[in-house]
Structure 1
Amino acid sequence: MTDLFAVQEKIRALTERLHYLNYQYYQNDVSEVPDQEFDRMLHELQGLEKQYPEYAQPNSPTQRVGGTITKQFPTQEHRYPMLSLSNTYSEADLREFDERVQRGLEGASYQYVCELKFDGVAMSLTYENGQLTRGVTRGDGTRGDVVTNNVRTIKSLPLHLRAADDQPADFEVRGEVFMPLSVFNDLNAEREQNGEPLLANPRNAASGTLKLQDSAMVAARRLRFYAYSFLSPRRDFPTHSAALEALKRWGLPVSDTWRLCGTIEEVLEFIHHWEKRRFELPVATDGIVIKIDDLRQQELLGYTAKSPRWAIAYKYPAEAARTRLNEISYQVGRTGAVTPVALLTPVPLAGTIVKRASVHNANQIAALDLRIGDMVFVEKGGEIIPKITGVDLLARPADAQPIVYPTTCPACGTPLVRPEGEAHYRCPNERGCAPQLKSKLEHYVSRKALNIDGLGAETVGRFFDLGLVRTAADLYDLPHRRDELVNLDRLGEKSVQRMFAGLEASKEVPFDRVLFGLGIRYVGETVAEKLAAHYRTIDAIVGASAEELAAVPEVGGVIAESVALWAQDGANRELVERLKAAGVQMALTGEAPQPLSDRLNGLSFVLSGVFEQHSREELEQIIERNGGKLSSSISKKLSYLVAGDKMGPAKREKATALNVPIIGETDLLAMVSDGGL
């Protein structure tokens, strides 16, 4: 007989231990246990919570991995309005602000707190009895969206605070949710490889991530949080700086970059100090926030209709430089996209020396009317990616000629194509274009795909250049060429053995990651997971039609068409067979979900809108497990359109015109009630 008290105690002990280890890792930069041991404890806790959900705590560490589906984000009024700050780019304005403060405080002494202005999403968090209970976005300053489940996935944010005598039972923390620059760059690199539009900047990326419906996808984006303000019904601390110190003591992440300044001159010194050094930080910044430290003095100064009189934001002007455009080079990516890159006379910009800048595509070259030899203005988009923003026409050479975009691939000479509706020209020679073949290999061995130890991008690129490999399947033939490999420069016996061990280990990588590693255009990590879960084997995916593929959750028509075209290619089918023969996982292991009934046999469904009781993915699983089929479009043959909230009027009109029955979520569930969930 199970000792329920012992189970409850085990869940409590694991929860407290994991909270402590998270605090040590993210706040003190101390890793007390190996990652494998941490993952083991987390997995054990997940298993216990699944078996005994009544003992799971709301802020369990297992919440960090996500998995909750939020079909809509309710709004909530802020207890304390989230006002915006007045801002300036002028040091003279800061001196005027200081003079207003002096007058408002009638000559009393005062201090400022200066903080870096992190470029993210303002967030209000509520803690009750040390537990995180709510996360709300700024919204319009009066009301915001409740995104608690997504906020709980932020690993640097404590779900349970360290106990302290000065910690109120109920208080709010204001802060900034941001995407670290390294995560942003990785995300954009992946999107570029998949032929997807690049994200503009980390702020937009963080904002979009917080509104994703699947918290597991939010967890994968590795957002971070910095606290910058404490609010409670009473004045618990005399100063803002004391509140910051308390927040850090309780376990909340507070940036160490803030400083107390006694005069406006010290404020300006702080601004100048960080003007260049901020680029060394792992997070995007766009200015400095200056606040009166004494909370009583803040109350005396009060507010205007829009902003506090006791604070102001100084924003650094956008970093820009003027330099010469010497040449345009053209890079060929994994999907064949040909991207122009501007080669510049080196110029200092935002803490780095810029030699290259993005020009994106032929449309932008035409829009800017770029010409070789032009003096161009370069900025860092979001202070990260250098880009050309304009041309100094007064300095244009008299003989400057417009840039003519190439009509053939710069790598293999194949005539370029420009698919309708796309901005990029592409090289269609995916079987013989060296940069494409090399990039596919680099993608296959990359960390997020098969993560083959000993086979990094440089090594596979070298093997390709030597003619040892052309496709991913060739990698598994390398052990037969051991004598040839050990004699290569900078390789040797140990490196070769490590590489062979990595190749052997890659045969245990799950099918969804293998599918991602195949490099099918538009198939990122999430789409690969959805396709693998739906079809379970590569043979089923290869045998599916574009229409059938489009009905899979997270897979639309464009992705489905791309997968279907890839599967029709004989060379890709041969690649799959060779990988199978090598022992690579081409199917999900474990039991497939069993059919629940045949109540929906012969019926087809389209789902549209947001549903109350289940996510769209859950409803699709219900349909399929009860014998129904999913369709991607409305036609006369469709059995039912299942309408949720916010369904577009066009689908309703089309279904009505074709006499397709329109039902709701409750109606669908009633159809399978006896064959059930």
Structure 2
Amino acid sequence: MIQILQAQERVLELRRLLNHHNYLYYVKDTPEISDESYDALLRELRQLEQEYPSLVIPDSPTMRVGAEPLKAFGVITHRKPLLSLANAFSKAELQAWVKRIEKLLPGEEFTFVCEHKMDGLAVAVTYEDGQLSTGATRGDGVEGENITANLRTIRSLPLSVANQSPEHFEVRGEVFLPKANFEQLNLKRDKAGLPLFANPRNAAAGSLRQLDPRVTAQRPLDIYVYALGWADGSQLPASHWDTMERIKSWGFKLNPYNRHCRSLQEVEQYYDEWLEKRHTLPYEADGVVIKINDLAQQERLGSAAREPRWAIAFKFPAHQATTILKDIGISVGRTGTLNPYAILEPVFVGGVIIRQASLHNEEDIQRKDIRIGDTVVIQRAGDVIPQVVGPVLEKRPHNASVFSIETKLKGADGLSHCPVCNSLIRKSPGEVMYYCPNATCPAQLAEKLEHFVSKSGMDIKGMGEQLAVAFLAEGLVKNVADIYSLEVSQLAARDRMKNKSAVNLIDAINKSRKRPLTNVIFALGIRHVGLESATVLAQNFGTLKALFEADQAQLKIIPGIGDKIAESIITYFTEPQNRETVNRLIQVLETPPVTPDNSTGTDPLAGTEFVITGTLAGMTRQQAWDRITAAGGTYKTDLTKKTRFLVAGQEAGSKLTKAREMGIEILTEDQFIILIEKPVTEPQPRLF
């Protein structure tokens, strides 16, 4: 009895010491003891807990090394939704946001809190009676993945908090991987022969979503808390800034670069300062988050389109760097287009090593005067897609060479050939792109098959790029119609495909037989026929057979089709192999017929143009488009003067700002559903 009491006393002391040193090292950056001394304390505690299992508790520092692998992630419903932020891309847009706040808070003064928009993973962490209870990802804003075990491994996140904290509360924060830690992690992976992480955010997100928390524990993750989600049983400050100071006193780590700004001018100065110094930050950041400081004002401002009116993200310009353009390669797209791309001397841009980048087309290359051998400016558009901005002319070498697709692909016969199938390339009058006319070109077949089974096409789950290429290589399919001749026995006989996977894939294929006509037409991959054109064609012809038998005159008179698309459709259906494929599809598909659109305009939504931005919670983008067309409306991907409604989902982008500037009516998803189910002719209330 005496021994266990002594052990208990020592365990409590060790936990106090380890939590104290964790806080000093990971939150305050002021360690008092060496790593070796810390490890000795941890080893002693672990040994005592092994000897006396009854003394083990969930918030022990030993729990940070990771629990047993999770069976699967559960779901946690957020008590208060995690909203996404609207974006501003210029000072004019930021100023417009402030003016809207002034209109909504007439005569009131307000201040701001500025924070870095860190490139990590948003999480919500709940504490009960001072102990870490649950942790979840943002998810769809309403429900997130339960990653409690993985969050426990982050040493800067307290497992227990000070006594003066509320009885039950939630903090929200950003889990991230510091740049230095990211580089060290990739060095270790490189030495171990493992694939490198693309960037710190991907590494952080992947680490938090490990089914085995022991793997997460080996990743040097960090967290900054940026908000109090909610709290019970405690009197809290009236402002966001003071609330964050209170949270800091409970033992949470806050970003030291946060700033309370008294005016818009101070906000802009903060942005300019960090735009200049962003490269010095120890983590990746893509902008500044600006919040109204007063919490009562935040409450009155509320939210719209799943975005708080009281906050906005002012984004930094895209990351840029310079490197050498070593060569220009040419790939073949699914419609046969020959697409030039830059082959670069590897360069680090915004946390990612870039070796290739988009060049659009030959005309764009010539317009920008980009030459092989140039030093070129590279940027990640939207901090994602690498693009060549242009050459640095003062660094141009004397032997830099002008690029030409015809010259690049010229053979011994003096003619230009497809780099994949060797067919003679073509370029139609008035078009920018060269293309390979061979419908059986292997490069086209692989991409056509991938496009055909895509979510916007036939939506055959489980059959992506890898299987498409494998099926072509193995001779299981030679064109898209062959998919519907596949059998379970054929697939199960393949290496690395079990019977259950084969059954699931055949079930997905059979389910796709009833896809809407719009998706079937889009899935064919006809040049210039996107989802919008496919919808128009479905509404006008009703069946694939009717479209297949249409002539150019019938096509050209349809509004929104025109000569170019009509000619492309006829060219597609004239090609013998395409005719055979479509005839087979007509036989095997069970596509519901569409009633041809003979609208007289009496439908309240007839001709009403919609644009959708962001992610919808209750339906896919395609389902939303289907509901629009079923109600007599039309949809576009870009805003125009004819656009009447913008449907704003989660994480709506710059279109939301543009719609406000254009005076276009903005609908939440719920308002959109009500409108579609009960169309009205009166304008809907315009949201902020």
TM bin, normalised by shorter chain, reads 0.5 to 0.7
1:237 alignment partner in structure 2 = 237
Residue 200 of structure 1 pairs with residue 198 of structure 2:
yes
Partner Cα separation in structure 2 for residue 52 and residue 286 of structure 1? 48
What secondary structure does 1:185 align onto?
A: helix
Residue 649 of structure 1 pairs with residue 649 of structure 2:
no
Tell me which amino acid in the other structure corresponds to 1:89. F
Counterparts of residues 487-506 of structure 1 (less than 5 Å):
none
Do the aligned residues in 1 keep the contact of 2:78 with 2:141 (CA within 8 Å)? yes
User: Given the superposition, is the C-alpha separation of residues 42 and 110 from structure 1 closer, same or farther in structure 2, using an over 3 Å criterion?
Assistant: same
Output one character per residue of 1:604-624: Cα deviation in whole Å (capped at 9) or x when no partner: xxxxxxxxxxxxxxxxxxxxx
Output one character per residue of 1:345-378: Cα deviation in whole Å (capped at 9) or x when no partner: xxx988x9xxx974269x99x9x99963346331
2:334 alignment partner in structure 1 = none
Tell me which amino acid in the other structure corresponds to 1:359. R
What secondary structure does 1:282 align onto?
A: coil
1:260 alignment partner in structure 2 = 260
Partner Cα separation in structure 2 for residue 136 and residue 244 of structure 1? 20
Tell me which amino acid in the other structure corresponds to 1:36. E
Shift of 1:199: 2.3
Partner Cα separation in structure 1 for residue 206 and residue 402 of structure 2? 46
Output one character per residue of 1:471-499: Cα deviation in whole Å (capped at 9) or x when no partner: xxxxxxxxxxxxxxxxxxxxxxxxxxxxx
Partner Cα separation in structure 2 for residue 44 and residue 192 of structure 1? 33
Partner Cα separation in structure 2 for residue 193 and residue 391 of structure 1? 34
Partner Cα separation in structure 2 for residue 127 and residue 398 of structure 1? 63
Do the aligned residues in 1 keep the contact of 2:376 with 2:392 (CA within 8 Å)? no
1:297 alignment partner in structure 2 = 297
Tell me which amino acid in the other structure corresponds to 2:379. E
Tell me which amino acid in the other structure corresponds to 1:296. A
Output one character per residue of 1:636-656: Cα deviation in whole Å (capped at 9) or x when no partner: xxxxx9x9xxx95349999xx
User: Given the superposition, is the C-alpha separation of residues 26 and 391 from structure 1 closer, same or farther in structure 2, using an over 3 Å criterion?
Assistant: closer
What secondary structure does 1:93 align onto?
A: helix
Shift of 1:382: 9.6
1:94 alignment partner in structure 2 = 94
Shift of 1:256: 1.0
Partner Cα separation in structure 1 for residue 52 and residue 349 of structure 2? 56
User: Given the superposition, is the C-alpha separation of residues 391 and 194 from structure 1 closer, same or farther in structure 2, using an over 3 Å criterion?
Assistant: farther
User: Given the superposition, is the C-alpha separation of residues 391 and 239 from structure 1 closer, same or farther in structure 2, using an over 3 Å criterion?
Assistant: closer
1:432 alignment partner in structure 2 = none
Partner Cα separation in structure 1 for residue 138 and residue 344 of structure 2? 38
Counterparts of residues 134-153 of structure 1 (less than 5 Å):
134-153=134-153
Partner Cα separation in structure 2 for residue 72 and residue 41 of structure 1? 33
Shift of 1:190: 3.9
User: Given the superposition, is the C-alpha separation of residues 100 and 62 from structure 1 closer, same or farther in structure 2, using an over 3 Å criterion?
Assistant: same
Shift of 1:279: 1.6
From 359, 370, 377, the equivalent of 2:355 is 359
1:161 alignment partner in structure 2 = 161
Do the aligned residues in 1 keep the contact of 2:172 with 2:225 (CA within 8 Å)? yes
Partner Cα separation in structure 2 for residue 318 and residue 6 of structure 1? 59
User: Given the superposition, is the C-alpha separation of residues 79 and 29 from structure 1 closer, same or farther in structure 2, using an over 3 Å criterion?
Assistant: same
Shift of 1:393: 9.2
1:38 alignment partner in structure 2 = 38
TM-score, L = length of structure 1: 0.52
Shift of 1:129: 2.1
1:20 alignment partner in structure 2 = 20
Do the aligned residues in 2 keep the contact of 1:228 with 1:244 (CA within 8 Å)? yes
What secondary structure does 2:304 align onto?
A: coil
Shift of 1:278: 2.1
Query: How many pairs does the alignment contain?
Result: 398
What secondary structure does 2:307 align onto?
A: coil
Counterparts of residues 569-648 of structure 1 (less than 5 Å):
none
Counterparts of residues 278-293 of structure 1 (less than 5 Å):
278-293=278-293
2:170 alignment partner in structure 1 = 172
Partner Cα separation in structure 1 for residue 190 and residue 382 of structure 2? 18
Do the aligned residues in 2 keep the contact of 1:357 with 1:388 (CA within 8 Å)? no
What secondary structure does 1:314 align onto?
A: strand
User: Given the superposition, is the C-alpha separation of residues 36 and 305 from structure 1 closer, same or farther in structure 2, using an over 3 Å criterion?
Assistant: same
Shift of 1:109: 1.1
Shift of 1:259: 0.9
User: Given the superposition, is the C-alpha separation of residues 382 and 54 from structure 1 closer, same or farther in structure 2, using an over 3 Å criterion?
Assistant: farther
From 219, 222, 225, the equivalent of 1:221 is 219
1:184 alignment partner in structure 2 = 182
Do the aligned residues in 2 keep the contact of 1:327 with 1:343 (CA within 8 Å)? no
2:471 alignment partner in structure 1 = none
Counterparts of residues 70-81 of structure 1 (less than 5 Å):
70-81=70-81
What secondary structure does 2:308 align onto?
A: coil
Do the aligned residues in 2 keep the contact of 1:121 with 1:178 (CA within 8 Å)? yes
- Structure 1, 180-189 or 270-279: larger mean CA deviation: 180-189
Partner Cα separation in structure 1 for residue 14 and residue 136 of structure 2? 28
Output one character per residue of 1:132-153: Cα deviation in whole Å (capped at 9) or x when no partner: 1111110100000111110011
Counterparts of residues 95-494 of structure 1 (less than 5 Å):
95-164=95-164, 167-193=165-191, 196-230=194-228, 231-233=230-232, 236-320=236-320, 325=324, 342=345, 358-359=354-355, 372-374=372-374, 376-379=376-379, 389-390=387-388, 392=390, 399=402
Tell me which amino acid in the other structure corresponds to 1:279. H
Superposed CA RMSD: 4.2
Partner Cα separation in structure 2 for residue 254 and residue 392 of structure 1? 40
Do the aligned residues in 1 keep the contact of 2:372 with 2:401 (CA within 8 Å)? no
User: Given the superposition, is the C-alpha separation of residues 238 and 49 from structure 1 closer, same or farther in structure 2, using an over 3 Å criterion?
Assistant: same
Partner Cα separation in structure 1 for residue 83 and residue 178 of structure 2? 25
Shift of 1:88: 1.6
Shift of 1:392: 4.4
User: Given the superposition, is the C-alpha separation of residues 69 and 399 from structure 1 closer, same or farther in structure 2, using an over 3 Å criterion?
Assistant: closer
Counterparts of residues 467-546 of structure 1 (less than 5 Å):
none
Shift of 1:299: 1.0
User: Given the superposition, is the C-alpha separation of residues 136 and 227 from structure 1 closer, same or farther in structure 2, using an over 3 Å criterion?
Assistant: same
Shift of 1:30: 2.2
Partner Cα separation in structure 2 for residue 111 and residue 129 of structure 1? 33
Shift of 1:13: 1.5
Partner Cα separation in structure 2 for residue 388 and residue 650 of structure 1? 37
Output one character per residue of 1:529-557: Cα deviation in whole Å (capped at 9) or x when no partner: xxxxxxxxxxxxxxxxxxxxxxxxxxxxx
Do the aligned residues in 2 keep the contact of 1:376 with 1:388 (CA within 8 Å)? no
Shift of 1:255: 0.6
What secondary structure does 1:122 align onto?
A: strand
Tell me which amino acid in the other structure corresponds to 1:248. K
Output one character per residue of 1:331-358: Cα deviation in whole Å (capped at 9) or x when no partner: xxxxxxxxx86289xxx988x9xxx974
Do the aligned residues in 2 keep the contact of 1:123 with 1:137 (CA within 8 Å)? yes
What secondary structure does 1:279 align onto?
A: helix
User: Given the superposition, is the C-alpha separation of residues 304 and 327 from structure 1 closer, same or farther in structure 2, using an over 3 Å criterion?
Assistant: closer
2:633 alignment partner in structure 1 = none
Partner Cα separation in structure 2 for residue 278 and residue 324 of structure 1? 20
Partner Cα separation in structure 2 for residue 53 and residue 154 of structure 1? 23
What secondary structure does 1:359 align onto?
A: strand
Partner Cα separation in structure 2 for residue 193 and residue 7 of structure 1? 42
User: Given the superposition, is the C-alpha separation of residues 57 and 186 from structure 1 closer, same or farther in structure 2, using an over 3 Å criterion?
Assistant: same
User: Given the superposition, is the C-alpha separation of residues 324 and 131 from structure 1 closer, same or farther in structure 2, using an over 3 Å criterion?
Assistant: closer
User: Given the superposition, is the C-alpha separation of residues 192 and 324 from structure 1 closer, same or farther in structure 2, using an over 3 Å criterion?
Assistant: closer
Do the aligned residues in 2 keep the contact of 1:200 with 1:381 (CA within 8 Å)? no
Gaps of 5+ in 2: 328-342, 409-491, 507-688
Do the aligned residues in 2 keep the contact of 1:374 with 1:391 (CA within 8 Å)? no
Output one character per residue of 1:218-241: Cα deviation in whole Å (capped at 9) or x when no partner: 011111000000121476221000
Give me the identity figure in percent: 38
